[in-house]
Each structure stands twice: as C-alpha cells, then as structure tokens.
Structure 1
Amino acid sequence: MSNRKEEYLTFLKELIALPSVSAKHEKLPETAALLGQALEKLGGQVEIDDSYFAPLVIAHFNSNQAGAKNLIIYNHYDVQPAEPFNLWDQDPWTLTEKDGHLIGRGVDDDKGNITARFTALAEYLDENDGQLPVNITFLIEGSEETASQHLDDYLAKHPELKADLIIWESGNKDDQGQIELGGGNKGIVTFDVTAKTAGIDLHSSLATVVDSAAWRLSQGLATLFDPKTGRIQVPNFYEDVIAPNQREKDLVAALPGTKEEFIKGHQITAPLLTDKRGDDWKEALYFEPSINIEGISSGYEDQGVKTVLPAEATAKLEARLVPGMGPDKTLKQIQDYLADQGFSDLTVTKTLGQPGYRSDMSDPEIKKVIDLAKDFYPGEPVVSPTSPGTGPMAYVNNAIKAPIISLGVGYQGALDHAPNENIRLTDYEDNIKFVKLIIGSYANH
C-alpha cells in the first residue's frame, strides 16, 4: 500500500472518531475544520463557510493549463446516528479493519469516499510534478443526512462555483461485482401528522362516546391510499411528475436483479403494490413518487395492559418525490386533501424537504466516465439514470448547471445507516485508481 493510502487511512480514522451526526448537531464544525486542514495540507485554496449550523467546506485545486475544464467533487461529512450501539460488533466511532473490511459509522456514507478521493488527488499530484490537467473543487457539506439544510443558501452565496462535470458523493458495486454509476435521486418531504381529541388521556370505557386520537389519525391516513392498488389518492399528486424518457426506461429495465430476487433479498412477505395494479416494479421503484408512514405513536405502548383512550396520536410520514414535484406543493396537496376528507383537525407539520433530479446519461461528460469504467472495471458497468434514494442533486445542479454522476467505494453489503457499516479494502483501492483515471482523462481533452 502506498504511503499516501496509509496517510489517508490514518486520516479516515480521525474522521470516523468524530461523531458528526447532523441530526444531533454534533461535531460538525470540528469535522469541517479537520477536513479544511487536510485540504490545505494537500495544497488547496480552502474556505470554510460557517454561516449555518453545518459548515460548508470548499477547496480549489487549480490547473496551470490554459482552457482547463472544471470538475467538482461533492461529498458530505455528516453521518447517521450509530444507535442501537448494542448491535455493533465494535465501537462505531473507531475505524476497525477486519477480514479485508473497514468498519465504522460513516465509512461508506460518506467519509471513506472523501478519503479515497483525497488519496486519488494526492497520488496524481505526486506522480505528475504537482500539475493537474483540470481544475478541481471539493464541495463538502455537513447536513446531507438531514435533507441538506441550507445547502441551497450556501450555493447562492458562492456563484463562483462552476463545473463541466460533478462527481457525486458515493456509489456501489452490485452483488455481481459490477460498478454502479448513477445520475439522479428522488426528492423528499417529511412531515408529522398529529390528532388530538382530548386534553388528557381518558378511561377506555368512554370509547362509546369519545373519539380516540389513535382511531382519528389512522382513519385520516387511510384516506391517502387506494386499498386495492396502493396508489396515492391525493388529487393531482402525480400531475407534476416528469415521466422518464425511453432511454431512461431502458437503462432501468437493464439493471440487474429479478422481482423474485428483490422479494427474497428484502424478506418481503406482503404482495408487491405493483402486482396489485399490474405495473412494472422496477419502473415504479425508480420513477414513481410515494407516501410512506415511518412510524405511529399513541397511548400506552409498554408491557401488559392499560385501558386508556389516547388523547393524542402522532405519525411520522415521508413523501418521496421525483423530478418535477416540489416539496411544499406536495405537502399542501396532502394537507388540503385531508381537510377535504373531513380531517381538518389533523395537524400537518413539515420537518424536511428537497426536490429530486435526474441527469442526462447521454451527456458527453457522463459518457466519458462510463467509457472509462468499461475500460477499468471487469464486466459492463451498471448505469442508472436515478436511484430510489434521496439526496441534494437538484440543489447542486440548479446552482451549478452541470451534469452529475455518482460513483464510490461501496458494495451491496455496506450496511449504510445500519450497525456494522463497512466497506471492502479492494473496492476502496479500486475507487482511488478510478478517480485518478478520471482526473488524468482531462489531459487529453
């Protein structure tokens, strides 16, 4: 292993040791400062903008070539909470190497991707007398795991940011070992819905005359869905959806995995909603919006029996959005529909939101990366125009107006957001080589 790889693996240990949990506002300035120091040491022109609770780290590495293109590398330094701690095989805040894997919270999502990219840049500079064929800007935020709060505000403050291509935060190899390259993600709006039917919890004998908040909430939420098809019944919910073009449909259809493998891999025991309505499950997964109930809380939930009529009930929900849909408009449609159905007493409170985005996978800059992957990795790369997950691609594209492609150090067993999050060292090292290859490809433009 090269000295640079060892250097940045040591740095990765320092990053993992900082529990930079944006949901709790923990260790965010400290992590941004540590990244800034590393980027300055590497020779970057660094700015840490701390206008909001999660500082934004920007670092410029300039080419000496006239007319050099611009490459932005986007990452995030915040992570998900590590709880429940008892399900980890070791301390989540201590980077652990075991059986060819690196284990720790954030090692895949997204700190290992950061250090792999630092390593690639450092090795390229070492091997080319400190010269770059492309201007590189690192853009590293600290609130991606909480819907990238204030990223759009930060970007508005930095109109100097420009790019011909944006390399996104992360990506995987699939279960066949093929590299996955993605060009989009869904948006999201998360919200709480609360029912309150009394000032205090009541004796359950009063249920003959007093409405329960738990019933009231359940009945209201049930109106959102058609029970026969699982489709969302909110009027105009789908009206702004930008339908996929034929190339996007073809790319998704070509993604590996059958419906049977999907069901088995996720241990699904209920019928798929797409089977109920006769839709293609892959197209729905990648191109359709959804509403999901994340959790419901009400009344007595401890051991044994307590004969109580709950006065209050709350549900946490999310709507996954596809390009064209706005978080605030979607939430208002849901709120208005509940009121029209006779549930105006339910309180709807927005918590987070961001729009969705899809890249044009035929863009020349993206096609170049795909071609490089074909040459570098064994087997055909898996190319997807979007993903079922959520991220702030729309904010970045709206501000910088450049195509986006995602790639990274992960694999199917990385356990992002779960206990024992991990990456394989072989994938990590492959990614370093591939990012160096992307940088070097600009020498021939």
Structure 2
Amino acid sequence: MSQINTEEIKRISDKNMARFYDYLRLESVSAQGRQIKQTAQAVQSFIENTGGEAKVLELEGAHPVVYGFFEAGPSGDAEKTLLFYDHYDVQPEDPLDEWNTTPFEPTVKDGILYARGVSDNKANFVARINAIEAYKNTEGGLPVNVKFFVEGEEEIGSPHVNDYLEAYADLFAADVCIWESGSKDSEERLKISAGVKGIAYYEARVKSADIDMHSSLAAIADNSAWRLVQALASMRNVNNEIVVDGFYDMMTAPTELEKKVANRIPFDPEASKQTYGLRHPLITDQLSYSAEEALVFYPTLTISGLLSGYTGPGAKTILPRQAMAKIDIRLVPGYEPDKVTELLRQHLDRHGFEDVDLELITSVMPFRTSLEDPFVETVIDSAKKVYGEGKVVLEPNSAGTGPMYGFGKYLNVPILGSGTEWEKSALCQIVLFKQNLYKKKDFGSS
C-alpha cells in the first residue's frame, strides 16, 4: 500500500479552489428557497467534472437531491459500495450585523476561510470530491463504488429526505454510509459519531383577548404573556428536570458498551464555559447524570424563542393579547415525535392550559448505529492513521440532529459521521478508501 501523496492532494485542492469559492457564493438558503436549483446543478458539475455520474432528482414540493456515482477501479470490488451523505443548503445569514465579513463572499483571515455554509456542509462535500480525485490519480482507481446523496433541505429539518430514500432506495443502495458531520474539540481530537439525536420542534401560541389593552387592566385581566410563560414553566422545574408525565419513560436504555464508550468521551466543562461565555453553572451540576451522558443519552426541552407585547425602545404600557414561543426538543432512541406531541398536549390540558395551542413545525427521528458493527472499527482505525492514537473520539451519537433515521430504515446501512472541516480530515477520507473496505468482513451487515 502506497503512502498518501499529500502533494497531490494539495495540488487538486488548489486546482479546484476557484470552483469551490463559486460554490460558496451561491446563496442556497433552504428556508427561503434562494438559488437552490443553481446550487444543485453546481453539485452535479463537481461530480461530473471528477469523472463521476450525476443526476439531479426532483419530487413535487421538495428541493432537489443530487445523486452521484463513482465506479470502483479495475482492481477494486464493484460488489461493495460506500455512500456519502452531504447537503448543499445553508442557514440564513442573519443577523447581518454580527458578521465581520460578507456572508457569501469567501474570505480568508488568519488562515481561516469564512463564508456562510463553508463548514456546514459545503467544504465537507468538496473535500470528499477532492479526495476521490486524489485517490484515482494516485491509486489507479477506487477500491469500491462510491455514491453521494446530496440534499437541499437539511437546514429545515429534511422534510422530504425519506420520500427520496423510499422512491430511490435502489439507486442509493450501499453497504455503509459516511455522514456529513464531524468536529474537533478544544484539544483537537476528532469526534466520530455513530448516530444523531432527533428533534421535535413546536410553536406554542396563546391568545387572551381580541385587542391589546392598557396595562392598568392587569388588575383584573389575565394576559397571554403570563399564560404562556406559566405553561412553559410547568414543563421543567428549577432543577432543570423535565416534569411532563411519562416523558423519560420513552427512553431506550443505552447498552453497557454504549455507556462505556460515552464515559470515555473527553469533556472539559471549563472549556465549554469559556468558549460560550456561560454565566451560569452547567445544568448537569444539578442532575443525577453527567454532562457526557446528557449530551449523548438524554432528551432536552428548550425554549428557543419568545414573542409577546411591546419590544421596542422606551416604554409602552400594554397588556398583550397574544404570545408565541418556539420549543425545541431533542430526541434520543425510543422517542417518536407524535408520541412526544401527545404527552405535551396531555400535560398542558392537565395543568389548565387548554387554551395554549401547540403545533409541531418539524420533526426528525433519532438514530444510532450499533457500536458492535465492524464498520465502526474500520472508520476509527482509518481516522487514527491520520490523527494518531489518542486523537480520535467515538461517541454513540452526537448531541445534534440529522436525517440519519431514513438511511437506516430504507437503505439498512451502518452510518458513521466523520467531518472534514480541518486540513487533515480530507486525508482521512483517503485513508478510509485505503482501509481495504472492499473486504466483506469490514463492511459488516448490509
């Protein structure tokens, strides 16, 4: 097995940089439908210009998904297929006044590239394309088939990803899948995730009157702001425990192996406090489980936004007629969004808040790959070849959310998240190809 040709990787990266910058300039904000088709076409061009086959797939009412395919080389195993999941859409660039650069103009400062969506997820996709080109140039072909599933709705909860997977399950059939994401901690250890938390995202509304009233009437009239904050406060106590009846009963207990792996995850609370400028102790200081366990195994209930009454400068003495809140609940294995909705509705009604409307805006199921699958060891070993022993951390699932569940359901593949935001990580993708992945024992169940 030849050594990784870092000079060839750099040459390819430099060659494709202008096209990469043009890709970053596309304002592919899925929530607003901006330049979605143009960006999907750019993804298609990246794949085709690297010698792959690409198709832009469309379903009614959905943003396009790009299919990519690279055939195994002459000495590879065409019976085995590695699937990459990526997305081309990005979050809105708001708030603009907090940017120090133009959001959609790639800008390098102190050796760091800034642009909306560069890390999540456009650079990951391009790094993988570059890795495939480098491997083909240095090894004479890929050891296995490589497919891409690149969607345009990840930042709005991937509402149609399961529709695409169901409709095109044969097209995206694979043996294993590498997910879009991965990160480094403060000690530059690479995190590899075997799953994701799900999400149930709600809008709660209450209306207490037909019009806003003068606040002097607060002596006799209730108001929406108080109704809503009291309803929200009834769901979680001062010790940060969710007190909705039956909420924790849905959890699938982690296995002994999952607990063991989670307890090995390095976590520095002081580093987290410094990174985010936290003003208060971690909420796990008051709970019966650790921060590491909370991030992996436990659900959350978060107020993500509140709106009611007058919020402009100065004073305006009103009693608001309506109030609204956004609620973000992260789900772990065992939780289903519809069941969570049912429990929340029952809780509100039981506590006298029948007038609080609750609407499920978007949801994603949780997913976790079995840590006993041989693919887990294959990916960890490949990462160690690049980062070194002690520099790779496995987590049973990340604290974040993504549409992994559908890939497990419709494609029946083990999934590991390994991102490429840092310079060395593009090399990790090539080492993964070099790990004899085409051997049946390394792919595990498919």
TM superposition score normalised by structure 2: 0.92
Tell me by how many angstroms 1:66 deviates: 4.9
Q: In structure 2, how many angstroms separate the alpha carbons of the residues matched to 1:45 and 1:277?
A: 52
- Residue of structure 2 equivalent to 1:115: 126
1:4 maps onto 2:12 in alignment: yes
Q: Secondary structure at the match of 2:23?
A: helix
Q: Which amino acid aligns with 1:438?
A: L
Indicate the SS of the match to 1:72: strand
In the alignment, structure 1 residue 44 sits paired with structure 2 residue 52: yes
Over 3 Å counting, the alpha-carbon distance change for 1:383 and 1:312 in structure 2 is same
Instruction: State the Cα distance separating 1:220 from its structure 2 match.
Output: 1.1
The answer to whether residue 435 in structure 2 is matched with residue 441 in structure 1 is: yes
Aligned to 1:60: 69
* Per-residue deviation, residues 144-169 of structure 1 (Å, max 9, x unmatched): 11111100111010121222211110
1:78-157 equivalences in 2 (<5 Å): 78-129=89-140, 131-157=141-167
Contact map agreement 2:303 2:327 (CA 8 A) in 1: yes
One-letter code aligned to 2:294? A
Instruction: Please state how far the C-alpha of 1:343 moved relative to its aligned partner.
Output: 0.7
**Whole-angstrom CA distance in 2 between matches of 1:101 and 1:264:** 21
Alignment: residue pair count: 426
Q: Which amino acid aligns with 2:109?
A: K
Q: Larger relative contact order (C-alpha < 8 A, sep ≥ 6)? A: 1
Write out aligned runs for 1:297-376 (5 A): 297-376=307-386
How far is the alpha carbon of 1:173 from its aligned partner?
Answer: 2.3
> Comparing 299-308 with 95-104, which one deviates more in the overlay?
95-104
CA shift, 1:45, in A, is: 2.0
> Which of 406, 409, 414 is the aligned partner of 1:398?
409
Offset, 1:444 = 6.5
How has the CA–CA distance of structure 1 residues 210 and 444 changed in structure 2, closer, same or farther, with 3 Å as cutoff?
Answer: closer
| Pair 1:167 & 2:178 matched | yes
Change in 2 beyond 3 A, CA 1:41/1:265: closer
Number of the residue aligned with 2:25:
17
CA contact (8 A) 2:194 2:368 kept: yes
Question: Which amino acid letter does the alignment assign opposite residue 57 of structure 1?
Answer: V
More divergent stretch after superposition (73-82 vs 160-169): 160-169
CA pair 434-276 structure 1, distance change in 2 beyond 3 A: closer
The letter for the 1-side match of 2:216 is S
Contact conserved, 1:178 with 1:379, CA < 8 A, in 2?
no
The equivalent position to 2:279 in structure 1, one of 250, 269, 275, is 269
The whole-number CA distance in structure 2 between the counterparts of 1:90 and 1:379 is: 37
| Structure 1 residue identity aligned to 2:94 | E
How far apart are the structure 2 equivalents of 1:71 and 1:90?
Answer: 37
TM-score by length of 1: 0.92
1:203–1:379: structure 2 CA closer, same or farther, 3 Å change rule? same
Q: CA deviation at 1:178?
A: 2.1
Q: 1:23-34 to 2 correspondence within 5 Å? A: 23-34=31-42
Instruction: Tell me, in whole angstroms, the C-alpha distance in 2 between the residues paired with 1:431 and 1:396.
Output: 24
Residue 443 of structure 1 and its aligned partner are, at CA, apart by: 6.6
Letter paired with 1:432: A
**Structure 1: where are the runs of 5+ without partners?**
411-426
Cα distance in 2 for residues equivalent to 1:107 and 1:441: 28
Distance 1:275 1:107 in 2: 35
Displacement of 1:340 = 1.4
Secondary structure of 1:136's partner? strand
Tell me which moved more, 64-73 or 307-316.
64-73
Matches of 1:437 and 1:214 in 2, distance apart? 56
Q: CA–CA distance in 2 between the matches of 1:441 and 1:331?
A: 44
Distance 1:196 1:150, change over 3 A: same
Deviation sequence 1:16-74 (CA, Å, 0-9, x none) = 10011111111111100111122122222212112143110011112254553110001
Identity of aligned residues (%): 35
Q: Distance in 2 between matches of 1:83 and 1:226?
A: 32
Match of 1:422 in 2: none
Residue pair 1:172, 1:180 contacting (<8 A) in 2 also: yes
Q: Deviations over 1:157-188 (max 9, x none)?
A: 01212222111102122221222211111100
Q: CA deviation at 1:271?
A: 3.7
RMSD: 1.7
* CA positional deviation for 1:376: 2.2
1:172-321 aligned at under 5 Å gives the runs: 172-227=183-238, 229-321=239-331
**Compared CA separation, residues 443 and 290, structure 1 to 2 (3 A):** closer
Distance 1:441 1:125 in 2: 15
- Specify whether residues 47 and 112 from structure 1 end up closer, same or farther in structure 2 by C-alpha distance, changes over 3 A only: same
The answer (yes or no) to whether the contact 1:9–1:115 under 8 Å persists in 2 is no
